[in-house]
Structure 1
Amino acid sequence: MTEIGLRDFSRDLVQDVLATAEATDTTLPDAFTQRMIEHLTEAGELDDGLVCYHRARGVEVSGYAVSDDETRIDVFVTHFRHDVDNPTLPLSELETLMKRLRAFIDKCRDGYRTDVDDASPVFDMVQDLERALKAATTVRLLLFTNATARVLKVTPATVDGIEYVYRVWDIARLHRLLTSGTFHEPIVVDFVDRFGAPLPCLSTPATDRDYSVLLTIVPGNVLANLYDEYGTRLLELNVRSFLQTKGAVNRGIRESLLKTPERFLAYNNGISATASHVDLVRGADGATGIGKLHGLQIVNGGQTTASIHSAVQKDGADVTDVLVQAKVTVVSPDRLNEIVPAISRYSNTQNKVTTADFSSNDALHVDMEKLSRAVWAPSATGDGQDTHWFYERARGQYADELARQRTPARIKAWKLSNPTKQKFTKTDLAKYIASWDQLPHIVSRGAEKNFREFMIRLATNGRPAVDETYFRRTIAKAILFKETERLVSAKGFGGYRANIVTFTIAMLVNATSQRIDLDGIWRTQSLTPALEAAISQLCEPVQRSITNPPRAANIGEWCKRPESWTRVEALPWTVPTALAAELLDLRASRRQGAALPETAAPTDPAVAAAAAVPAQTWFETAHWAKETGSLQPWQRGLAFSLGQRCERKTAPTQKQAVQGIALLKEALRLGFRPAIPVENLPDA
Structure 2
Amino acid sequence: MNDFLSELLNTVEVRADVDNDLTASAFVTEMAERMAAAEEIENLIPIHFRGQSGRRNSGVDGHDLGDSDDSVALAISQFDGSGAGGTMGNAEVQRLFGLLEAYLRDAVAGTFPVDREPSEAAVQLARDIHSRGRAITRFRLYLFTDLTLGSRVASLPSTSVGEIPVDFHIWDLQRLEALATSSQGRAQLDLDLTEWSAGGVPALTVRGEGEFETYLAAVPGELLADLYGRYGSRLLESNVRSFLSGRGNINKGIRTTILSDPQLFLAYNNGVTATATAVETSPDGSILRLRDLQIVNGGQTTASLFYVRRDSSPKPDLSKVHVQMKLVVVQPENAIDLVPNVSRYANSQNRISEADFFSNSPFHVRIETLSRQVLVPSMAGTHFQTKWFYERTRGQYQNERAKLPPAEAKKFEAVYPRAQLITKTDAAKYSVSWGQEPHKVSAGAQKNFLAFANSVADRWASSDTQFNEAYFKELVAKAILFQAIRVRVAKSEWYQSGYLANIVAYTMAKLAHTIASQARGARLDFLAIWNRQQPSAALLEACLDIAHLCFRVLTAEQRPIQNVTEWAKREQCWQLVKKVAYDLPPSLAGELVSASVAAQAHKDARATQRIDTNIAAQSKVFEISVDEWKEVHAFCRENRLISPTDNDIVALMTGARPKVPSERQAARLLEIHQRALNSGFR
Q: Structure 1 length as normaliser, TM-score?
A: 0.67
**Post-superposition CA distance 1:69-125 (Å, at most 9, x none):** 673111001122332232322222222111111121123233323444334444433
Residue 31 of structure 2, aligned match among 33, 36, 43: 36
1:204-603 alignment, distance < 5 Å: 217-218=216-217, 239-240=240-241, 266=267, 269-272=270-273, 299-300=296-297, 324-326=324-326, 337=337, 341=340, 343-348=342-347, 353=352, 355-380=354-379, 382-407=381-406, 409-462=407-460, 465-492=466-493, 493-494=495-496, 495-513=498-516, 515-548=523-556, 550=558, 553-554=561-562, 555-591=564-600
Partner of 1:100: 99
**Post-superposition CA distance 1:647-670 (Å, at most 9, x none):** xxxxxxxxxxxxxxxxxxxxxxxx
Following superposition, the deviation at residue 519 of structure 1 comes to: 0.5
The answer as to whether partners of 1:71 and 1:132 remain within 8 angstroms in 2 is no
Greater mean alpha carbon deviation, residues 460-469 or residues 537-546? 460-469
The answer as to whether partners of 2:235 and 2:295 remain within 8 angstroms in 1 is yes
Give, in whole Å, the separation in 1 of the partners of 2:2 and 2:324: 42
1:46-61 alignment, distance < 5 Å: 46-57=41-52, 58-61=57-60
Change over 3 Å in CA distance of 1:498–1:159 after alignment to 2 = closer
Give, in whole Å, the separation in 1 of the partners of 2:489 and 2:39: 31
Change over 3 Å in CA distance of 1:12–1:306 after alignment to 2 = farther
The answer as to whether partners of 2:212 and 2:329 remain within 8 angstroms in 1 is yes
Gaps of 5+ in 1: 1-5, 187-194, 204-209, 277-282, 285-294, 309-316, 598-684
**Post-superposition CA distance 1:218-255 (Å, at most 9, x none):** 4759xx9xx9xxx9999879754998997977999999
Following superposition, the deviation at residue 589 of structure 1 comes to: 4.1
Give the AA of the match of 2:18: A
Give, in whole Å, the separation in 2 of the partners of 1:537 and 1:474: 23
Residue 18 (1) aligns with residue 26 (2): no
2:169 partner SS: strand
Give, in whole Å, the separation in 2 of the partners of 1:529 and 1:462: 35
Partner of 1:633: none
Following superposition, the deviation at residue 474 of structure 1 comes to: 0.4
Change over 3 Å in CA distance of 1:216–1:146 after alignment to 2 = closer
Greater mean alpha carbon deviation, residues 362-371 or residues 426-435? 362-371
Give the AA of the match of 1:510: H
Give, in whole Å, the separation in 2 of the partners of 1:511 and 1:233: 40
Change over 3 Å in CA distance of 1:176–1:243 after alignment to 2 = farther
Give, in whole Å, the separation in 2 of the partners of 1:89 and 1:213: 41
Following superposition, the deviation at residue 323 of structure 1 comes to: 8.0
Change over 3 Å in CA distance of 1:76–1:346 after alignment to 2 = same
Change over 3 Å in CA distance of 1:212–1:581 after alignment to 2 = closer
Give, in whole Å, the separation in 1 of the partners of 2:23 and 2:253: 43
Change over 3 Å in CA distance of 1:201–1:256 after alignment to 2 = farther
Greater mean alpha carbon deviation, residues 134-143 or residues 246-255? 246-255
2:394 partner SS: coil
**Post-superposition CA distance 1:506-559 (Å, at most 9, x none):** 222222236221111111111112112222233222322332164553233332
Give, in whole Å, the separation in 1 of the partners of 2:243 and 2:579: 42
1:653-664 alignment, distance < 5 Å: none
Give, in whole Å, the separation in 2 of the partners of 1:499 and 1:296: 34
Change over 3 Å in CA distance of 1:214–1:254 after alignment to 2 = farther
- The number of aligned residues is 557
The answer as to whether partners of 2:89 and 2:149 remain within 8 angstroms in 1 is yes
Give the AA of the match of 2:51: A
Following superposition, the deviation at residue 455 of structure 1 comes to: 1.4
Give, in whole Å, the separation in 1 of the partners of 2:386 and 2:22: 26
Give, in whole Å, the separation in 1 of the partners of 2:571 and 2:18: 29
Following superposition, the deviation at residue 54 of structure 1 comes to: 1.9
Residue 164 (1) aligns with residue 166 (2): yes
Partner of 1:619: none
Greater mean alpha carbon deviation, residues 535-544 or residues 137-146? 535-544
**Post-superposition CA distance 1:440-476 (Å, at most 9, x none):** 2222222222111111223344465322221111000
The answer as to whether partners of 1:48 and 1:446 remain within 8 angstroms in 2 is yes
Give, in whole Å, the separation in 2 of the partners of 1:138 and 1:334: 33
Residue 177 of structure 1, aligned match among 172, 176, 179: 179
**Post-superposition CA distance 1:254-281 (Å, at most 9, x none):** 9999x999977546534547899xxxxx
Following superposition, the deviation at residue 348 of structure 1 comes to: 2.3
Following superposition, the deviation at residue 68 of structure 1 comes to: 4.4
Following superposition, the deviation at residue 328 of structure 1 comes to: 6.0
Give the AA of the match of 1:497: L
Greater mean alpha carbon deviation, residues 39-48 or residues 567-576? 39-48
Give, in whole Å, the separation in 2 of the partners of 1:326 and 1:452: 27
Following superposition, the deviation at residue 130 of structure 1 comes to: 2.7
Q: Note the aligned Cα RMSD (angstroms).
A: 5.2
The answer as to whether partners of 1:211 and 1:330 remain within 8 angstroms in 2 is no
Give, in whole Å, the separation in 2 of the partners of 1:152 and 1:251: 43
Following superposition, the deviation at residue 344 of structure 1 comes to: 2.4
Following superposition, the deviation at residue 481 of structure 1 comes to: 0.3
Greater mean alpha carbon deviation, residues 141-150 or residues 21-30? 21-30
Greater mean alpha carbon deviation, residues 65-74 or residues 349-358? 349-358
The answer as to whether partners of 1:215 and 1:325 remain within 8 angstroms in 2 is no
1:113 partner SS: coil
Partner of 1:140: 140
Greater mean alpha carbon deviation, residues 524-533 or residues 553-562? 553-562
**Post-superposition CA distance 1:139-163 (Å, at most 9, x none):** 1211011211144433222232112
Partner of 2:633: none
Give the AA of the match of 1:141: L
Give, in whole Å, the separation in 1 of the partners of 2:32 and 2:335: 33
The answer as to whether partners of 1:199 and 1:217 remain within 8 angstroms in 2 is yes
Give the AA of the match of 2:382: D
The answer as to whether partners of 1:211 and 1:329 remain within 8 angstroms in 2 is no
1:573 partner SS: coil
Give, in whole Å, the separation in 2 of the partners of 1:270 and 1:166: 31
Change over 3 Å in CA distance of 1:350–1:25 after alignment to 2 = farther
Give the AA of the match of 1:400: N
1:154 partner SS: coil
2:546 partner SS: helix
Give, in whole Å, the separation in 1 of the partners of 2:111 and 2:238: 44
Gaps of 5+ in 2: 189-199, 278-282, 285-291, 306-316, 517-521, 608-682
Give the AA of the match of 1:149: L
2:47 partner SS: strand
Give, in whole Å, the separation in 2 of the partners of 1:86 and 1:102: 27
Partner of 2:3: 8
**Post-superposition CA distance 1:423-445 (Å, at most 9, x none):** 22222111101111111222222
